[in-house]
Amino acid sequence: MQTFNMEEHPHRRFNALTGEWVLVSPHRAKRPWQGQVEKGQQEKRPGYDPKCYLCPGNERAGGIKNPDYSGTYTFINDFSALLADMPEGEENDGELFRAESEKGICKVICFSPRHDLTIPEMSHEEVCGVVDVWQKEFCELGEEDFIGYVQIFENKGAVMGCSNPHPHGQIWSSRSIPVEPMKEQERQKAYYNKHGRTLLADYLNKELEKDKRIIYKNDHFVVLSPYWAVWPFEAMIVSRRPVPDLSGLSEYERSGLADAYRQLTIRYDNLFETSFPYSAGLHQAPTDGKQHPEWHLHMHFYPPLLRSATVKKFMVGYEMLANPQRDITPETSTQRLKEQPALHYKSR
């Protein structure tokens, strides 16, 4: 019998943050690389699009006109999934039929007035402006007594269901803590109660020691491919300091987060020389009025591309019915991202 080798043998890895498992089948990634790596369509967008509902001065659905903004611009989503003014109520028809009313506030953040840019193409200072507005919005929404959780996220690229290429993100804030942050909260709480340190502080220290999955780091944030990553090029940005949320970040730390966000997305774009799609978002402590020393601020990146600008991973079949599976290991993905230049391919 051979000895177990994680570079070759199928195995399951445990996600310490959620308590879930992922199946890793590295032997399948050893198949020869077939076909060339297609580059993406190099679409050329104008700096201003008169038909775009996010460009400065343009009208949105419902007739409201955007101001002539110059940095970031935030507004209440015209088609909010959650509404602030909702009657209280529930259905409690035994164990099997449960429902409750939900409240919240949804916002859209334009990252730049420029229709043709994306985060990796914006300057460091401009991305700092995005992180600053995240902090401000997190604090303001979190202050509302009916907001228990603030979910900040970005959908990038049409394959991720993004409706408009103008650089933007969203915030959905709700009274209850949604499913994903709740899973992470439970794991982080159990760990913190047992060790008196945050789960991600210990995890980050070990990852820095092992140095097999570190993609990029600066003084305040580390970009890595998590041990338990599901998506081929999944990544996580973790703060070096165990802060529970954005509210306590200093100017230097905000700048560090902006740098990590930019450096990761530049490498993503360089990988297949395409505008790399993903869903990304921050996970942080709930704003439910309780103390959350167990929470450790981080940002997840879930990109669907697998082998080229057009070949994406499908989460179907086994993934939907059993558990997620991947071929290429996170260690190999890290190498491929790490070797990408820090300069965006379009500026070469």
Q: Which of 11, 115, 166, 168 is catalytic?
A: 168
Return the residue of 22, 54, 105, 119 that touches Zn ion, per CB under 5 A.
Answer: 54
Q: Decide: is 55 part of the binding site for Zn ion (CB under 5 A).
A: yes
In whole angstroms, the minimum distance from the beta carbon of 65 to ligand H2U comes to 11
Q: Which range, of 54-62, 81-89, 244-252, 288-296, touches Zn ion by CB under 5 A?
A: 54-62
- Please report, for residues 17, 109, 133, 168, 307, the alpha-carbon distance to residue 57 in angstroms, rounded to integers and kept in the order given: 43, 15, 20, 16, 40
- Going across the sheet that includes 11-14, the strands are 11-14, 21-24, 325-326
C-alpha 245/C-alpha 201 separation (Å) is 14
Binding residues vs ligand H2U (CB under 6 A): 53, 60-61, 77-79, 108, 155, 161-164, 168, 170
Return the one option of Zn ion, ligand H2U, none that residue 52 interacts with (CB less than 5 to 8 A, by type): Zn ion
Overall size of the chain counted in residues = 348
How would you classify residue 317: left for phi > 0, otherwise alpha for psi between -120 and 50, otherwise beta? left
Which residue's CB is nearer to Zn ion, number 49 or number 140? 49
Residue 55 binding target from Zn ion, ligand H2U, none, CB below 5 to 8 Å by type: Zn ion
Shortest Å, Cβ 155 to Zn ion = 15
Which pair of tokens denotes residue 110? 């334009």
Compute CA distances 31 → 23, 200, 282, 314, whole Å.
Answer: 18, 34, 35, 18
Q: Between residues 168 and 267, which has the closer beta carbon with respect to Zn ion? A: 168
Smallest gap from Cβ 150 to Zn ion, in A, equals 25
Question: What residue 229 binds from ligand H2U, Zn ion, none (CB within 5 to 8 A, per partner kind)?
Answer: none
Residue among 166 and 313 whose Cβ is closer to Zn ion: 166
166 forms part of the interface with Zn ion (CB under 5 A): yes
Please identify, among the stretches 42-50, 127-135, 205-213, 277-285, the one whose residues bind Zn ion according to the rule CB under 5 A: 42-50
Chain centroid offset of residue 52 CA: 24
Q: How far is the CB of 55 from Zn ion (least distance, A)?
A: 4
Catalytic, 168? Answer yes
Kindly tell me which of 166 and 175 has the beta carbon lying closer to Zn ion.
166
**Among the candidate windows 14-22, 35-43, 47-55, 89-97, which touches Zn ion by CB under 5 A?**
47-55
| Residue whose Cβ sits closest to ligand H2U | 60
Minimum Å distance from CB 155 to ligand H2U? 4
By three-state DSSP, how is residue 188 classified? helix
**Closest distance between ligand H2U and the C-beta of residue 279, in Å?**
10
The interface with Zn ion within residues 80-119 (CB under 5 A) comprises 115
Q: Using CA atoms, how far apart are residues 160 and 179, in angstroms rounded to an integer?
A: 20
The one segment of 11-19, 48-56, 70-78, 92-100 that binds Zn ion by CB under 5 A = 48-56
Question: Which CB atom, from 74 or from 170, has the smaller least distance to ligand H2U?
Answer: 170
CA–CA separation, 316 and 164 (whole Å): 26
Residue partners of 258: CB distance under 8 A and separation at least 6: 124, 127, 128, 130, 131
Q: 17, 22, 24, 52: which one contacts Zn ion (CB under 5 A)?
A: 52
> What does the radius of gyration of the chain's CA atoms come to, in whole angstroms?
21
Order of strands, sheet of 168-174, starting from the edge strand that comes earlier in the sequence: 73-76, 104-110, 168-174, 149-156, 278-283, 298-302, 235-239, 221-224, 214-217
Contact 127, 178 (CB under 8 A): no
Dig out the tokens for 68 from the structure: 């002539």
Sequence-ordered list of residues with C-beta below 8 angstroms from that of 42, at least 6 positions apart, any chain: none
Contact residues for Zn ion (CB under 5 A)? 49, 52, 54-55, 115, 166
Where in the sequence numbering do the catalytic residues fall? 168
